[in-house]
Amino acid sequence: MKYSPIDSNLFVKNRKKFTAQMKPKSIAVFNSNDIYPIGADSTLPFEQSRDLFYLCGADQEETILLLFPDATDPKHREILFVRETNDHIAVWEGPKLTKEHATEVSGIETIYWLTEFDKVFFDLMTEADTIYFNTNEHYRQAVETQTREDRFIEKCKKDFPAHQWAKSNPILQEIRGIKEPEELDIMQTACDITEKGFRRILEFVKPGVWEYEIEAEFLHEFVRNRSKGYAYPPIIAAGNNANVLHYLVNNQQAKDGDMILLDLAAEYANYSSDMTRTIPVNGRFTDRQKEVYSAVLRVKNEATKMLVPGVIWAEFHKEVGKIMTSELIGLGLLDKADVQNETPDWPAYKKYFMHGTSHHIGLNTHDYGELKTPMKANMVFTVEPGIYIPDEGMGVRLEDDVVIQETGEPFNLMRNIPIEIEEIEELMNA
C-alpha cells in the first residue's frame, strides 16, 4: 500500500460498535472483493470491500472477517482469515499478510489461513442461531455482477437452512456514517492531496490545453503524495461539456473564454475526497461568468451553514432549492411566473440545478450513512450546488467536504482549496 499505516485502534473501535448491535448467539461474516478479469491474463486493480476494510483494515484479496461475540472459546470471537503466502507468491506478487502482520494491522489476535475457513466456520455455526449477511443496500447501488459476498450468502443458505438470517447493512449504515477522529484525519489528508493537485493545475491551464492533459497533471500530483489516484472517475469539462453532469471522456480542447468544470479528487488509504471547482481557461472570468459563479458560491455557503445536527436530509434539499430559486431569478434565468407554475415533483429551479446538494462521503465517495433520520455530529457531507446553462455554453459547480459539528457551522475539510474569484484569478496569473 502507498499510504502510511493506520492505527489498528480505529478498527478495534469499529468492530466494537458493530458487535454491540448484533443479536445474541449470532455470527457476522465479511468477504473481501473479487479481483475482476478484463480478458486474457489481465485484471482490474484490486479494490478492497469497504465494509471489510472498515472493520479490520486488511487491504488484501481473499480475506474473510468473522465476528462471533458469544463464541464459547474467547479466541473465536474475532477471527481474520487471510491467504497463506509462500516464497513463490512473494517473488511474483510481493509480500502478503503474515499472521503476525495481520494482527498488527487489524488488532485481531486470532488469524487463520483461508484454507481453514470451512472447517472453523462449520464448527462455530453449531453454536450460533443467526448469521449476518453483508448485502449492498446503498440507495445508489446498481450491481449487475455476482460478488464474492453473493456467492457466500448463496452457499450459506444452502448449507445452513435452519439458521436465522439477519442483515449487516442497517448497522453499517448507522455506524459508518459517523466518523471517528482517525477517519477525519485520513479524509483531511485526502483533501490536502486534492488541494496540491488543484494548485498545480491553476499554474498549468491555458487556452488550448486538452482536458486529458489536466487529468494527467492531477494524477501526477496525487500519486506523488501517496494516493492511488482518483477517488472516482474524474470530470474535466471545458465549455459546454460542463452541462453533461457525468462527463467522463475528457478528450476536448479548452478554448479562450471558456470555463472548465473540475469534479475530481484524490483518495487516500481507501478514503475519498470529493471536490468541484470551476475556473476560467484564460485566467479571467467574464462579467457574466462572475455573476453565475458568485450565485453558486452563495448557495454553497448558505447550504453549508444549514448542515447541523437534527436536520433531515430531504428537508435540507428543499431549503437549498428555495435559495437557488432566488439566485436564478436574480440571474434572469427564472421569473416569478416560472415559480408560480412549478410543480412539487419538479420545482422551477430544477431546469438549471437538477441534482442533489449533498451526500455522505467517507470510504466510498457516495458513502454509507443514514439519510432518513436527523443528521449527527461527525457525519461528513459534500456540499455541491451548480447552475447549468447550455444556451450560454457554461456550467458552474462548486463542492467542498464538510464535517458536521456538535455546535456551530460545519468544519470544511477543503477550507484551504482556493474558491474565491479573486484568489483563483491571482493564482492563475501569477
199 and 167 within one domain: no
The Cα 245–Cα 139 span in angstroms is 19
* Domain final residue, candidates 174, 195, 216: 174
pLDDT at 87: 76
pLDDT tens profile 278-296: 999 999 999 999 999 999 9
What CATH number does residue 29 fall under? Answer: 3.40.350.10
Q: Are residues 222 and 162 in the same domain?
A: no
C-alpha cell at 239: 465549455
CA end-to-end distance (rounded Å), the chain: 36
In a domain, 75, yes or no: yes
**Percent of the chain predicted with pLDDT > 70:** 100
Query: Under a CB-based contact definition with an 8 Å cutoff, are residues 427 and 202 in contact?
Result: yes
Domain identity same for 25 and 150 = yes
189 shares a domain with 73: no
The count of domains in the chain is 2
Contact status, residue 167 vs residue 133, Cβ threshold 8 Å:
yes
Are residues 169 and 186 both part of a single domain? no
Burial status of residue 12 (CB atoms within 10 A of its CB: 0-12, 13-18, 19 or more): middle
> Residue 16's Cα: distance from chain center in Å?
23
Domain around 283: 181-428
CB 137 within 8 A of CB 174: no
pLDDT for 141 equals 87
> Are 337 and 406 part of one and the same domain?
yes
Residues 5-47 pLDDT 10s: 999 999 999 999 999 999 999 999 999 999 999 999 999 999 9
Query: Which letter does DSSP use for residue 34 in this model?
Result: P
From the number of C-beta atoms within 10 Å of its C-beta (0-12, 13-18, 19+), residue 236 rates as buried
pTM: 0.96
Last residue of a domain, one of 174, 200, 229: 174
Q: Are residues 109 and 228 in the same domain?
A: no
Residues 221 and 158 occupy one common structural domain = no
Does 3 reside within a domain? no
CB 366 within 8 A of CB 173: no
C-alpha cell read off for 10: 480505529
Are residues 148 and 293 part of one domain? no
State the pLDDT at residue 102: 97
Same domain, 314 and 253: yes
Same domain, 350 and 317: yes
The overall average pLDDT reported for the chain is 96
Could you say which of 134, 159, 174 is where a domain stops?
174
For residues 385 and 282, membership in a common domain is answered with yes
- Inform me whether the pLDDT recorded for 59 exceeds 80: yes
